Amino acid sequence: MMKVLYPFAYYYPETCAGIYIIDNVMEAAAEAGVESLLTVPTPTRDVMEGAVWERTEKKFGGKTTIRRFHMYGEGKNPIARAFRYLLCETVQLGYCLFKKYDVLFIDSTPPIQGLKLPLVKLFRRKPVVYNAQDIFPDSLAGTGLAKKGGLLWKIGTMVMKITYSCCDKFIVISNDFKENLMGKGILDEKIVVVYNWVDQNAVVHVDRSENKLIKAYGIDPKKFYVEYSGNIGLTQNMDMLLDVMKDLKESHPEIGLILVGEGAYKKQVEEIVKRDELTNVTMLPFQPYEDISHVFSLGDVGLIISKPGVGANSVPSKTWSIMSASRPVLASFDENEIKSILTDSKCGIFTKAGNKEAFKAAIIKLYEDRALAIEMGKNGRLFVMDNLTREVSAGKYVEVLKSVVKK
């Protein structure tokens, strides 16, 4: 029986974005008769309160094994975090060199994972499939963490050249990503585009009268809400979002913002909300996955937002969750595929990243035209059912994994 090794940085019960992807892929693999071994550090990052986990766990009819190795928590010290990544990669290298498997599946986060591949290729000669959920060092330049042409950029470029040279297939989440990799010299036939997906059965519309979070957090069910759910970090342009809410507090007090999530910028957001007395902003912590339908059904409109220059090559996976919950998408983003998806499927409104006035005007438009908002939400759900179900997309991953194994 074919076996895939997944050396990963994060897994449940951690709440990092994208964990559902690998879980769905392993489930689809099990359904196709493929065994999986996922090796991962013990959970320390945004672990749900009361979560229970074991060092070794079997899933999906016993065909999937989760093996957690002990590691200290990430913390906020950048040197300690970097050293932790190196320790983790040393352990993961051991799994890659000595465990039995047919295909190695590598994720793009953290990017230093690729540095072990030359040794793995030299001693094991196993095919490698690279899952590009992000593109480095391009994304570092977009966030301002690296200057194009600077030292960190050059180091990142070197790391990715080493990584890419060892990979047999690349899975990317958009055509923009594919063009980016081809510009870096990757052959067209090595790249497969698979949009991130949503479990259409797990994320559905929940009426406000039945939404448990409405009562739990004292949310006024009669108000009109825009909602952001996800990482509250440096790149999400929270400053602009809160500035818009400051304006709307005076001009449209019936409009509120619900923020759900955690992240490096959350404390600053809380301070701004308190300082500016933004009583139209409600903040919630990350919620358990089983409540995901309730989360994405909280708002009348779902937001995807980033600073200019950050999202040029990305389509946030939360987009599909918003659409699956029958909510219109309002994007403040760099122009890429997301613009054409929202426009062509008539499931949302696109505004350019950083354009505060256009973004605010779009909120007001959806507030004033509820019928339009509802129609866009229905269109989004239809798009998901036609293009982005777990069965279709996770199945494509399994097809790629099988394709690199010599018969």
159's enclosing H/E stretch is: helix 151-165
Alpha-carbon distances of 37 from 31, 106, 350, rounded to whole Å: 15, 12, 40
When pLDDT is averaged across residues 3-12 and rounded to a whole number, the result is 95
CB 219 within 8 A of CB 127: no
Amino acid sitting at position 341: I
Largest CA distance in the chain: 67
* Residue 158 neighbours by CB under 8 Å, 6+ apart: none
Q: What is the pLDDT of residue 146?
A: 67
Average pLDDT over residues 272-281: 97
DSSP-derived 3-state class of residue 298: coil
Chain length of the chain: 407
Per-residue pLDDT, 320: 93
Residue 314 confidence (pLDDT) above 80: no
* pLDDT (0 to 100) of residue 373: 98
Report pLDDT for 45. 81
Q: Encoding tokens for residue 200?
A: 């259409």
Confidence of residue 144 (pLDDT cuts 50, 70, 90): low
Mean pLDDT of 249-278: 96
Distance CA 26, CA 34 (A): 8
Q: Which of 150, 260, 164 is nearest to 214 (CA)?
A: 260
Q: Please give the full DSSP string across 49-107, using - where no structure is assigned.
A: TT----SEEEETTTTEEEEEE------S-HHHHHHHHHHHHHHHHHHHHHS--SEEEEE
Please state, in angstroms and rounded to a whole number, the distance separating the CA atoms of residues 131 and 327.
28
pLDDT one-digit tens code per residue, 159-190: 999 999 999 999 999 888 999 999 999 999 99
| 290 or 368: which leads in pLDDT | 368
Q: Return the pLDDT at 81.
A: 81
The secondary structure of residue 110, as a DSSP letter, is: S
How far apart CA 395 and CA 29 sit, in angstroms, is 8
401 has a pLDDT exceeding 90 = yes
Q: Which residues contact 117 (CB under 8 A, 6 or more apart)?
A: 106, 128, 162, 163, 166, 167
User: Averaged over 274-298, what is the pLDDT?
Assistant: 94
8 Å CB contact between 260 and 322? no
Mean pLDDT score, 362-385 = 97
Please give the C-alpha separations between residue 127 and each of 11, 109, 167, 370, 402, in angstroms, as whole numbers: 23, 19, 7, 51, 10
**Contact 169/192 with Cβ under 8 angstroms?**
yes
**Position 16 pLDDT exceeds 80:** no
What pLDDT score does 264 carry?
87
- Residue 42: pLDDT band by 50, 70, 90 thresholds? very high
Retrieve residue 71's tokens.
């590691």
Angle 33-35-41 from CA coordinates, rounded to 5°: 150
The reported pLDDT for the residue numbered 297 is: 97
Closest CA to 123 of 94, 90, 87, 164: 94
Q: What is the pLDDT of residues 211-232, one digit of tens each?
A: 999 999 999 999 999 999 999 9
pLDDT value of position 141? 66
pLDDT given for residue 241 in this prediction: 98
Pairing of strands 56-59, 169-172: unpaired
Rounded mean pLDDT, 123-143? 86
**CA–CA dist 338, 322 (Å, integer):** 13
Q: Which residue type is seen at 265?
A: Y
Q: How confident is the model at residue 27 (pLDDT cuts 50, 70, 90)?
A: very high
Residue 6 contacts residue 38 (beta carbons within 8 Å): yes
148 pLDDT tier (thresholds 50, 70, 90): confident
Residue type present at position 189: E
| Amino acid 158: pLDDT | 93
Query: Alpha helices of 309-354 — where are they, by DSSP H?
Result: 318-324, 337-344
Alpha-carbon distance of 233 to 235, in angstroms, equals 6
Task: Identify the pLDDT of residue 317.
Answer: 83
Q: Contact at 8 Å (CB) between 348 and 316? A: no
The pLDDT score that the predictor gives to residue 145 is 65
For residue 75, is pLDDT > 80? Answer: no
Q: For residue range 94-113, what is the model confidence (pLDDT) as tens digits?
A: 999 999 999 999 999 888 88
Side-chain-facing half-sphere of 258: CA atoms under 13 Å: 26
| Contact yes or no for 337/323 (Cβ under 8 A) | no
Number of helical (H) and strand (E) elements in the chain, helices listed first: 15, 14
The DSSP bridge pattern shows strands 329-333 and 64-69 to be unpaired
pLDDT at 198: 86
In order of start, what are the domains of the chain with their CATH numbers? 3-197+389-403 (3.40.50.2000), 208-387 (3.40.50.2000)
Q: Would you state the pLDDT for residue 176?
A: 87
The answer to whether 60 touches 26, Cβ cutoff 8 Å, is yes
> Model confidence at 20, in pLDDT bands (50, 70, 90)?
confident
The rounded distance, in Å, linking the Cα atoms of 347 and 329 is 6
Instruction: Give the model's pLDDT for residue 56.
Output: 97
Question: How much of the chain exceeds pLDDT 90, in percent?
Answer: 74
